[in-house]
C-alpha cells in the first residue's frame, strides 16, 4: 500500500499524504512513495499544477520519531540527506505545487509545505519547527527555507524556541499566503490551481524556474536567467497567438502549451 496517493482531475494532480494513523509522519517508506509520485507527475505532460495535502486531521505532523530515536549519527545524516533530496525534487518540479495545509505541519511537515511554491492553510492548521525540543536540528531543509520565506529573525525565533504557531500567525509572517475555513480549503486550492492551469504553461514553468533560480543567486545572474526565459517564450505558439489576439482585440480560445 502506498502512503502517498495520486489523483488527477483534468490538468490538476492531487497528492495526498496518506498515513493518517500516524498523522502522516514521514518515515523511509513515505519518502520513497513521495519520491516515486513526484517522478510520475514530472513525466505526465497533461499535469499542469499539483495540490499537496494530507489525509485526516494532519498535513504532516513531522518525521517519524519512533523510527529516528535510535539512529546513529551516520544513519541520521543518511535519512536527512534523502529527505532533502526528495524535497528538492518537489521544489524543483517543473509544475507549480500548492500546499493545502489542512492540519498539523510540524517539523518535516512544515519543511514539506515550504518546499511547495504556494501555501494555503486551513484555519485549523498549525506550523512549527519543534526539533530543538527533541535535541536535534531541523533536518529536511527547515534551517534554509524558513529564513528565506519569513526572514532571519522570524526563522530564528520559530526554530530556536520550538514554538508552534496557528495559521493566522503563519499568514502574518508570510509563511502562508491565505487562510480559509477548513471546509473550503480544497475548493480554494482547486480554484487557484485552475487559474494557474488556464495560462500558457511554458510561460508558467519558465516563470517558476526564474523565481526559484533567482532566490539562490545574485540579482545580475537572476535577471540574466529571466532574460533567457523571456526570450524562450517568444519561440512558442502560445506567445504568437496570445499577442496577435491582443493586438487584434480578439478573444484567445485557450492555449496549446507549445
| Residues annotated as part of the active site | 111, 131
Which residues, in sequence order, are bridge partners of residue 5? 16
Residue ranges in 44-161 assigned as alpha helix (H): 65-68, 73-91, 108-114, 142-150, 152-161
- Cα 64 from Cα 69, distance rounded (Å): 9
Residues 117, 96 contacting (CB under 8 angstroms): yes
Neighbouring C-alpha atoms within 13 Å toward the C-beta of 103: 15
In order of 8, 14, 54, 90, 161, the CA distances from 170 in angstroms are 29, 23, 18, 21, 15
Question: Is beta strand 12-17 parallel, antiparallel or unpaired with respect to 4-9?
Answer: antiparallel
Q: What are phi and psi of 119, to 5 degrees?
A: -120, 120
- Among residues 87, 177, 179, 163, the alpha carbon closest in space to that of 125 is found at 179
What cell numbers appear for 178 in the block? 491565505
- Cα 61 from Cα 51, distance rounded (Å): 18
Gyration radius (Cα) of the chain, Å: 19
Amino acid at each position: 500500500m502506498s502512503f502517498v496517493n495520486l489523483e488527477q482531475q483534468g490538468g490538476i494532480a492531487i497528492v495526498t499524504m496518506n498515513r493518517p494513523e500516524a498523522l502522516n509522519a514521514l518515515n523511509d517508506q513515505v519518502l520513497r512513495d513521495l519520491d516515486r509520485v513526484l517522478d510520475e507527475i514530472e513525466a505526465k505532460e497533461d499535469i499542469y499544477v499539483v495540490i499537496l495535502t494530507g489525509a485526516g486531521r494532519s498535513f504532516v505532523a513531522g518525521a517519524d520519531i519512533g523510527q529516528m530515536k535510535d539512529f546513529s549519527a551516520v544513519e541520521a545524516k543518511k535519512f536527512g540527506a534523502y529527505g532533502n533530496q526528495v524535497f528538492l525534487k518537489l521544489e524543483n518540479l517543473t509544475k507549480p505545487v500548492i500546499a493545502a495545509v489542512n492540519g498539523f505541519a510540524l517539523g518535516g511537515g512544515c519543511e514539506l509545505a515550504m518546499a511547495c511554491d504556494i501555501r494555503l492553510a486551513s484555519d485549523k492548521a498549525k506550523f512549527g519547527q519543534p526539533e530543538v525540543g527533541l535535541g536535534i536540528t531541523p533536518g529536511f531543509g527547515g534551517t534554509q527555507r524558513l529564513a528565506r520565506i519569513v526572514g532571519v529573525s522570524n526563522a530564528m525565533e520559530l526554530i530556536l524556541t520550538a514554538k508552534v504557531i496557528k495559521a493566522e500567525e503563519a499568514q502574518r509572517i508570510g509563511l502562508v499566503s491565505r487562510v480559509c475555513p477548513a471546509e473550503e480549503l480544497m475548493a480554494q486550492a482547486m480554484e487557484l490551481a485552475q487559474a494557474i492551469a488556464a495560462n500558457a504553461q511554458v510561460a508558467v514553468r519558465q516563470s517558476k524556474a526564474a523565481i526559484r533560480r533567482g532566490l539562490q543567486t545574485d540579482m545580475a545572474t537572476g535577471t540574466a536567467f529571466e532574460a533567457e526565459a523571456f526570450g524562450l517564450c517568444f519561440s512558442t505558439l502560445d506567445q504568437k497567438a496570445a499577442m496577435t489576439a491582443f493586438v487584434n482585440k480578439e478573444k484567445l480560445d485557450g492555449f496549446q502549451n507549445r
